[in-house]
A and B are shown apart, each in its own frame.
Chain A
């Protein structure tokens, strides 16, 4: 009998040990490889990681299917949406023929910019508590403000009536947010950029820091913002600092127009002298379909989008481009006619129609095909990624958010398109491509901007700023008083206090 009692005791003991091993902590896990929000941004490294995350949204310019360049081009008189078919990108097609509505409006143009704003807000909120060098903290703060201003500038131009959020929202406040007036938003953008400029560096290390905000980048953005506010004297003054004393000569930071226009579009020619602020892409993020357009994708999707479909080179004159583009943003005949005799034509337009007619190549015709493709970002075979990921998603060409030729023409416009300096600015842009001087006027500036900056996503905003959109885009279905701005995505109106934009 004794052995039974012993066995029972052992069993009971086993039970107790097993029961005892389980406490409440047992079913609480701490995440690994991740951090909790309340503890983060304590060190310089963590603040830097937060800053990188704030920069992340700059890729919206040409990253992902829904990117600023191809979208804004599609709504201009220079480009069509294009693509595989009329429903290949309902949003971009809707903008191209101005049938866009709150349901078809791609919400990412709204949401992605607010993600950038959220990350700058939380960084600005946390930075004072970070243990780091004061000067560098000031620089981080300035960069966060400049980024916030950039994101708000895109938002206010696209949607005009937007909430102005400067602190991370508390859960209880989420549904109490209302829209600010455009004036309030512009005032904040001015304030952020103005505060940022003194603490931004005049230059950065090309190898490790290029792409981060510099003084000149913030000044260029601020000058442009002033012009959109129609504060012409302030715009001219600010842009004069960017453009330098003598147009065509290097400015105080060493920026100057590139002698050869075509060099702007060589995909390896990053951070050149003409570039003031650019959206950085790389072929090293191994971007793949699973995270395309997300924060980990650093490829230039605009490049993939503008290439012709099923392109086959069959003659020596056809360029060696990546054969499987998606034929978005084909040029309109109207634009083709405007640029065909301009020296910038060969850098701007890839005339696949002519090449095919000459038997040099073949391709599949996409939607709204004209045969004229956007050459500036055309994906090159030589740019095919060397590492992993999908070929389509790893083109590395950077794109300009603002470059010197742009600020030259903006200053000339701010100067009222009159006077010697305005003339010199216009002449410098024309002289670079070997064109003779023409008398400066608003018309001359408008024509120059169209040809110089074609396909870079500026034309629609220019037309709206000049008040020309209704006439230039009439045949595309543009409705004045409505289509100057996007509809607020329908999903943003559900349960919120936001009011839809007029006439949507």
Chain B
């Protein structure tokens, strides 16, 4: 049974190792585990090494020891969604009525119970028919569910409440859902992910003693002490961030991108932010409305090639915008070469460059995405994606 448990964890993508499994058996032999609840706690502490997998662990635990089915979204989840929707409806009846496609007055006649029932049916339909097609039950930025800090089922932190609950119940609560890998990003998460983006170079006053040189110089001057000082290592990385801030296609991600932007702005001293619309033509702008401070792409050749270039955009547009010399959608502007060549030029100028796409990776179907991916490595704006971004940006040092 434990072996099956172990392999289910592995299959479902929780990184568990044989060593930790053996260690779990060692823990079982210490005589400290008396109940299934103890086992739940100890096994999680020994096997699972990140709160991101706690939710998956809870599901698998309930599945293995109670036969709860591993399906998504389960009824409980839908209940949570329905609750959130109900709250939303109280605040904003017209929107929900429109989203559900029924008349507002008709909606008002329903009792809350009927309403929830109605939501249930619609949600199940929705989830099966076009999963994620409509943002209000998806994980997108505008969804009423899945705000950071929202805890479905409540967080259980010991105390009197928990003791009556069995481990299965606790596991079925799925109280760690918040920490699942695909959850919304917070500023601190972004901060942690980007913190490793550093390049240390000596700078500032010489106030650190270099022992080796001191000894050498002291011997050279015949035992007369000669102390040699060095500069401290400072972070001197240069970052250029280019953000797609135009077009309705980026709207759902505005909040996410802002979070990224805010963090990056106070973290990196040498940071330049530029804006563009959909894709990069001959110019990018220093001002968000993209009107007064253009900078020519060709001038970027004079920048330090060690600069890290990060482009944020959904990379989804009409193919001609990317490929055609007359692709620029603002007709009054003249351009000389297709956007894709500008992108290639940037990729050649800055060897450390990536494209971050805030759209969920599984929707990366657009033709232009494929093409841009041939120029820049593309990562999602998730914890995983940022991790890979940093890894990529620092790997060729």
Are A and B subunits of one complex?
Answer: no
